[in-house]
A = this chain, B = another copy of it.
Amino acid sequence: MNPNKIPDIIVGRLPIYLRALQRMADRGLKTTSSQELGEHVGISAAQIRKDISQFGEFGKQGTGYSIQFLMDNLREILKIDQIWDVIVVGAGDMGSALVHYQGFQNRGFRVVMIFDSDKSKVGKKIGEFVVEDIVNMLEKIKSLNIKLAMLTVPAVAAQEVADKLVVAGIKAILNYAPVSLNVPMNVKVQYIDPSVHLQRMTYYL
């Protein structure tokens, strides 16, 4: 299996499948079908079978998928059969919300540090963390070999901070700022964009 051969759009659906499977497991279900999974995520059963079959044979004709087995395999494919350390840059409302967020548990991630450039925020406590000075960010990222960052700085500062993250060795940035980031090809960026989600719903109103 060559990861470069799988289209990014398929990779992007795997976490959605995993989340739906987790919700089924939480409700006590043991097995599911591509049909049932499709109804939960709004994707056709045929598409789901095609997506999953890119990675191997995880279901049986007639009996469907073992939820736990499929979850274990998706976690391995997505490399979240380990816990990834993530830093937060920007100690405003959003950064603070991410430090307190309960939705990283059992999903493969933990916040390990939060940085800001504002001297009035540096040294203050947010949850169990003390806000660190952004001038020390490069050194800290390198020494802990951190690859993931969540960016919650103001829009005007986002590109400059992203450049620093790239220099420090960050390979994946989850960007909350409402701006497009320019990063090298080997660095991934995803955008948290509430407007996109709202627009998807107004279509139906």
Interface residues of A (CB under 8 A from B): 3, 7-9, 11-12, 14-16, 18-19, 23, 42-44, 47, 77-80, 84, 86, 92-94, 96-98, 100-104, 107-109, 147-148, 150, 152, 155, 171-172, 174, 178, 180, 188, 190-205
Q: How far is the CA of A18 from the CA of B174 in the complex (A)?
A: 20
Task: Tell whether, in the assembled complex, residue B12 and residue A193 are in contact, meaning their CB atoms are under 8 Å apart.
Answer: no
Q: How far is the CA of A92 from the CA of B3 in the complex (A)?
A: 40
Q: How far is the CA of A108 from the CA of B202 in the complex (A)?
A: 9
Task: Tell whether, in the assembled complex, residue A79 and residue B203 are in contact, meaning their CB atoms are under 8 Å apart.
Answer: yes
Task: Tell whether, in the assembled complex, residue A108 and residue B205 are in contact, meaning their CB atoms are under 8 Å apart.
Answer: no
Task: Tell whether, in the assembled complex, residue B198 and residue A86 are in contact, meaning their CB atoms are under 8 Å apart.
Answer: yes
Which of the residues B92, B108, B152 comes within 8 Å of A199, measured between beta carbons? B108
Kindly report which residue of chain B lies nearest to residue A178, judged by CB atoms.
Answer: B103
Given A8-B42, A94-B94: A104 touches B195 (CB 8 Å cut-off): yes
